[in-house]
Structure 1
Amino acid sequence: MKSIGFLSFGHWTPSPHSQTRSASDFLHQSIDLSVAAEELGVDGAYFRVHHFARQAGTPFPLLAAIGARTSRIEIGTGVIDMRYENPFYSAEAAAATDLIAGERLQLGISRGSPEQVIDGWRYFGFQPAEGEDDAAMARRHTEVFLELLKGEGFARPNPRPMFPNPPGLLPLEPQSPGLRDRIWWGAGSDATAVWAAEHGMNLQSSTLKNDETGEPLHVQQRKQIEAYREAWKAAGHAREPRVSVSRSIFALVDDRDRAYFGADRASTDQFGNIDEKTRAVFGRSYAAEPDRLVEELAKDEAIAAADTLLLTIPNQLGVDYNAHVLESILTHVAPGLGWR
């Protein structure tokens, strides 16, 4: 059995070929798709976060709205860029969202990917401390965020407060006590996967990873997952961790599927530099008739190693078509692989 969710990159564009032409379209369609996905039996609705782009910025209003409209499906991110985040505000917003959703929030966070503007986090009021780079700043923000989620008091109360205080130091409010165990780290390398395990976070591994061995993405991810689980065990955490991988998978079951994805040319991994320092591997997509998909996906070592699969969706093709994409995987592919 495998948990299956969708991951929306949340694009919108005023192009006449897009069914998601504005931010309002994206937000309302995301809510509608999450409701439809829950009805289909999908396990999770996840969203990418990017600043200075026609994509989701702060995810919490959207996640809270989805949480209020649904009752079972997990809601989450993949990922929030912690270079941009005030850990204190994020802890409050995340807890409130989790409570609205009935404790279904699965929050993916990370250092983030290359952004639309140069050092965009500076516009948000952040800068690395002396001796830090932006990645280290993101990890520092994360460590503060995780500490705040414990709900322990740390702030000295005002002796003349507006409202009566309980005794002792004060924590942030509201609190959602189980949320700390539902934080995920999007790891681009084996080293950051180990760091995530040491800090008691679940692991998200995307379709893009640092190329550390020259092997196919699914092999590198499988090794990353193994390193993560070894580090988790060594850290002595009491609970079992969760691991997700993301994939673009399309079952060709009707003429629309064949028109959109029948000539898919991204059927092999791609290698290249994403910035001046980082060589990466970008994973292949899968688009085929269901029987062939089952054969191909059975060879994906990372999917086999993960307990959660996030299906990236073409959100600009609209709610109805994306619900069809998800239903096709659940109906025609998942049973043949033992996922359902």
Structure 2
Amino acid sequence: MKKIGFLSFGHWSASPQSEARSAQDVLLQSIDLAVAAEELGADGAYFRVHHFARQLASPFPLLAAVGARTDRIEIGTAVIDMRYENPLYMVEDAGAADLIAGGRLQLGISRGSPEQVIDGWRHFGYAPAEGESDADMGRRHGEVFLSLLTGKGFARPNPNPMFTNPPGLLRLEPHSEGLRDRIWWGSASDATAVWAAQQGMNLQSSTLKADETGEPFHIQQARQIRRYREAWTAAGHKRTPRVSVSRSIFALVNDRDRAYFGRDTSGDQVGVIDNMRAIFGRSYAAEPERLIEALKGDEAIAEADTLLLTVPNQLGVAYNAHVIETILTQIAPALGWR
């Protein structure tokens, strides 16, 4: 059994072919798609975060709005770039959004992806400490965030406060109990997956990872997941961790599907990204019978407990709901996922 959700990058474009032509369109349609996905029986609504781009950026207003409009579906990110974040302010935002959603947030955080601008995090007021890389800074921000989420007091109270304080050191408010266990780390390498396990975070592995062996993408990703779980066990954590993978999967069941994705026969691709040799996983697009057979061979999907379907949000809410419904009703049961 797998949890199945969608992952939206939240693109918008003024193109006549786009159903999302403005930031407002994307935000409102994201809420509507989450509502539709919940009604269809999907398990998660996840959103990507990119700065300086015509895509979704600041996630917490959207997460809170989705939380207020839905009742059951998990609401998450994949991922928030921690190089840009003030961990203290983020704890307050995350706590508020999680309380609005009734404890359904599943926050993916990470070092982030290649950017639209040079050192964009500097414009947000952050810079690596001496001897740090920007990736080190992102992990440091992540560690502070995790520590604060425990709810342990750390700030010395004013002896003459405006409002009465509880005894002892003060924590950030609002505090949402249990959110610390629902933080995920987006990992592109085996080493950072191991680090995430040591930190007690769940693992998100996307359609891109460091090409560390030259093997097919799904085999490398499956090995990454196994190493993560081994490191989790070695760290002695008590709870069972969660692991998600992302995939572009389209069942071709009508002429519109075939027009959009019928020629998508891409395999894995290898390239250089941020001075790292990277491998990009293939997309899946075929008639249901062929699609089911192809997905049976994906070792990483088999290893994961959560599958995030990347959706083409510019094609509109109705079409993306159709994509999700087809996977849930025609593909997932045949593979034993549901």
Q: TM-score range by the shorter chain?
A: over 0.9
| 1:279 correspondence with 2:280 | no
| 1:12 correspondence with 2:12 | yes
2:248/2:311 contact within 8 Å kept: yes
**CA displacement, residues 130-170 of structure 1 (integer Å, 9 cap, x when unaligned):** 11000000000000000000000000001111101111100
2:67/2:101 contact within 8 Å kept: yes
TM-superposed deviation, 1:177? 1.1
**Aligned-partner SS, 2:323:** helix
Q: Distance in 2 between matches of 1:311 and 1:194?
A: 24
**CA displacement, residues 208-243 of structure 1 (integer Å, 9 cap, x when unaligned):** 111111111100000000100000000000100000
Q: Distance in 1 between matches of 2:217 and 2:206?
A: 10
TM-superposed deviation, 1:331? 1.0
The letter for the 1-side match of 2:281 is: G
Q: Distance in 1 between matches of 2:288 and 2:265?
A: 18
2:247/2:310 contact within 8 Å kept: yes
For residue 27 of structure 2, what is the aligned residue in structure 1? 27
Q: Distance in 2 between matches of 1:308 and 1:300?
A: 14
Per the normalisation by structure 1, the TM-score is 0.99
**CA displacement, residues 60-113 of structure 1 (integer Å, 9 cap, x when unaligned):** 000000000000000000000000000000011001100000000000000000
| 1:49 correspondence with 2:49 | yes
Stretches of structure 1 lacking an aligned partner (at least 5 in a row) = none
**CA displacement, residues 287-315 of structure 1 (integer Å, 9 cap, x when unaligned):** 00011111000000000000000000000
Q: Distance in 2 between matches of 1:14 and 1:225?
A: 39
| 1:247 correspondence with 2:247 | yes
**Aligned-partner SS, 1:83:** helix
**Aligned-partner SS, 2:291:** helix
2:265/2:284 contact within 8 Å kept: no
- 1:284-295 equivalence runs, <5 A: 284-295=282-293
| 1:65 correspondence with 2:65 | yes
Q: Distance in 2 between matches of 1:215 and 1:162?
A: 61
For residue 125 of structure 1, what is the aligned residue in structure 2? 125
Give the share of equivalent positions with the same residue, in percent: 78
**CA displacement, residues 300-335 of structure 1 (integer Å, 9 cap, x when unaligned):** 000000000000000000000000000010111001
TM-superposed deviation, 1:265? 3.6
**Aligned-partner SS, 2:172:** coil
For residue 191 of structure 1, what is the aligned residue in structure 2? 191
2:83/2:126 contact within 8 Å kept: yes
For residue 76 of structure 2, what is the aligned residue in structure 1? 76
For residue 97 of structure 1, what is the aligned residue in structure 2? 97
TM-superposed deviation, 1:57? 1.1
